[in-house]
Amino acid sequence: MAHHPVIHKLEAESNVAVALANYIADLSAKFIAANGSFSVVLSGGTLIDTLRKLLDPPYMSSIDWSKWLIFFLDERVVPLDHPDSNYKLAYDGFLSKVPIPKSNIYPIKEKLSPDEAADEYEQRLKHLVANGTLKKSPVTGFAKFDLILAGMGPDGHVASLFCWHFQRFEKTKWVTSITDSPKPPPSRITFTFPLINSASEIAMVVTGEDAADAIKVALGQHASYGYPLPVQKVSPEGTLTWFLDNAATSELK
């Protein structure tokens, strides 16, 4: 049974960045104390910039970065040094600035087709569950990440799970691919909902007025005309926490 979501409505994006840093630092300490590691899944988009407060005191020195494990919620199937790569975005804006061991960062494999890249990433996750690096959900048998940090598109997409695309209905695969993403570039791999929803904690980090209509639907204040938005399927085994700014909540009552 899913818990009620926690909703932080903050003034500006800069307040979201501070609240998010606090939340992540607390979870990092909690999970490292409990299990000796902290598995974090990053999406692309504006999220990476909103993580910037973690690079400031007191977080930079108080967080035990050596225990972090980094995964990618979705990734564009391009070389890792390509301007469209989520790995490059995360590396340039965040990962290169914190002492997370390189071997704890799990980018996609290059030079594979979208299908092969998704398969390879899924196999790697399964291997990490089998060797005890990642936890396993006792409920679903999928990997259980400590924290998934996700953005949302104005159309209500999460990861690369889009409204009119079959990938959002996937029940068996952990990671799947899409070659006609409505948001460019077209070829991507993405976590599926059963993998996403097996997480302990999911933070939905959404700022800016482009998101306001979809936020109204996501928070139950407006019908989605009979067909749920992908974001409405985010429902973790653990806790869902929203980080929103004034612009993103401007359509709410």
Ligand X SMILES: O=C(O)[C@H](O)[C@@H](O)[C@H](O)[C@H](O)COP(=O)(O)O
Closest separation between CB of residue 83 and ligand X, Å?
13
Closest separation between CB of residue 146 and ligand X, Å?
19
Which residues lie closer than 8 Å to 236 by C-beta, 6 or more apart?
A: 2, 148, 196, 197, 198, 199, 200, 201, 202
Closer to ligand X at the Cβ: 37 or 161?
161
Closer to ligand X at the Cβ: 64 or 84?
84
Closer to ligand X at the Cβ: 74 or 122?
74
Neighbours of 249 (CB within 10 A): 20
Closer to ligand X at the Cβ: 37 or 70?
70
Closest separation between CB of residue 200 and ligand X, Å?
20
The C-alpha atoms of residue 113 and residue 211 are separated, in whole angstroms, by 32
Q: How many degrees, rounded to 5, is the angle at CA 126 between CA 123 and CA 132?
A: 145
Are the CB atoms for 99 and 59 separated by under 8 Å?
A: no
Closest separation between CB of residue 47 and ligand X, Å?
6
State the residues that interact with ligand X by CB under 6 A: 43-47, 73-74, 86, 151-153, 157, 159-160, 183
Closest separation between CB of residue 68 and ligand X, Å?
19
Closer to ligand X at the Cβ: 68 or 243?
243
Are the CB atoms for 177 and 118 separated by under 8 Å?
A: yes
Q: Give the residue closest to ligand X by C-beta.
A: 45
**Chain length of the chain:** 253
